[in-house]
Amino acid sequence: MFNGKSILVTGGTGSFGKRFIRRVLAESSPERVIVYSRDELKQYELSQLFPEAEFPSLRYFLGDVRDRNRLARALTGVDIVIHAAALKHVTAAEYNPFEFVKTNVMGAENLIDTCIDAGVEKVVALSTDKASNPINLYGATKLCSDKLFVAGNSYAGRSKTRFSVVRYGNVMGSRGSVIPFFLSCRSKGVLPITDDRMTRFWITLDQGIELVMAALEQMQGGEIFVPKIPSMKVVDLAAALAPECRLEMIGIRPGEKLHECMITEDDAPHTLEHPGHYVVLPAIHNWYLDPKRHQGGKPVPPGFRYSSELNTQWLSGDELMQILSGYELRGAELVRKDEAVPSRRELPAEMN
């Protein structure tokens, strides 16, 4: 799928972007893999993991999705785009709403327009369970973004550009997620818990990448791909990570839900179930009525709802720790133990 192709990853220096790029370079022979992000230090650190001599197809492009002109320049000759750039901290969104709108909504519009103009073949945008029935600003911006990418297939008209979305839950160990946070709190002997009833969906970075790969292979344009993944209570997560710690209830934070949902009852009439995932077909223009779309999928029952507290798959503490046994805490994220990390001594003095 990637051999001979030019791939651009927005937010390419983030947790997902780094793992996705590693996977693509290890398993295929792309013409170019372009890292599009706004942090020069993270780009430099990534270049230490993937030296130019060994990975001549890798490119680095400083830019922001808010900058349409810069995006247009970066997309020249690109075939596939993975859109992972976003502002995503729930509480920060409540206090900085305009910044989240500029990146998550206006950035999505910029990417859609420039991808169509550049003749990009496929675009897969990463979304979140918080975009389904959102109660917080972050979720609302991602819902708007999802709608934009679905409608982008209409904007594309007769051009070859097609857009789809992948939506999944909390990523184990990504920067800013609760698992690295709990691990960093263990030395204090106390873990802060917002509510002991809270549940969340959980997915690994590698599972997220598998979903993106499946979406790229199956997409016809306008679908939202949702994986079947387990749920876990946050108190059970805390007990598994730090059984020696006391749990302190601090109350739900601004914009936080007790439970997350990835498919609502309103989406059920145009949702198909596959063995490992669901596909929410686009309702726009009644595209979901097209019998050629995703043959083999089974319609979900009326009133179907896929939410973390009603899930049929649950992750035990032992299963969680088995998954995490291959990872270690580096800064604010968990990474595979076998992944190299650039030495700070290798960085130029002005970046140290």
Q: What is d(CA 34, CA 74) in angstroms, rounded to the nearest whole number?
A: 8
CATH code for residues 6-347:
3.40.50.720
Domain extents in the chain: 6-347
User: What pLDDT band is residue 347 in, cutting at 50, 70 and 90?
Assistant: very low
The one-character DSSP state at 350 is G
Task: Assess whether pLDDT exceeds 90 at residue 176.
Answer: no
User: How far apart are the C-alpha atoms of 179 and 182, rounded to whole Å?
Assistant: 5
Query: Mind spelling out the 3-state secondary structure of 26-50?
Result: HHCCCCEEEEEECCHHHHHHHHHHC
User: Residue 277 pLDDT > 90, yes or no?
Assistant: yes
Q: What is the mean pLDDT of residues 262-286?
A: 95
pLDDT at residue 173 is higher than 80:
no
pLDDT at position 349 over 70: no
Mean pLDDT along residues 47-61: 93
Gap between the Cα atoms of 123 and 79, Å rounded: 9
Q: What is the pLDDT averaged over residues 158-183?
A: 90
Q: Which residues of 249-259 are buried (b: 16+ CB within 10 A; e: fewer)?
A: eeeeeebbbeb
Residue 104 clears pLDDT 60, i.e. is over it? yes
- What sign does the dihedral 323-329-331-337 (CA atoms) show? negative
Under DSSP, the state recorded for 75 is T
DSSP type of residue 168: E
Look at residue 90 and tell me whether its pLDDT is greater than 80.
yes
pLDDT of 4 strictly over 70: yes
pLDDT, position 156: 94
Mean pLDDT computed over every residue of the chain: 92
Backbone dihedral angles phi then psi of residue 162, each to the nearest 5 degrees: -130, 140
Q: Which residues are catalytic?
A: 130
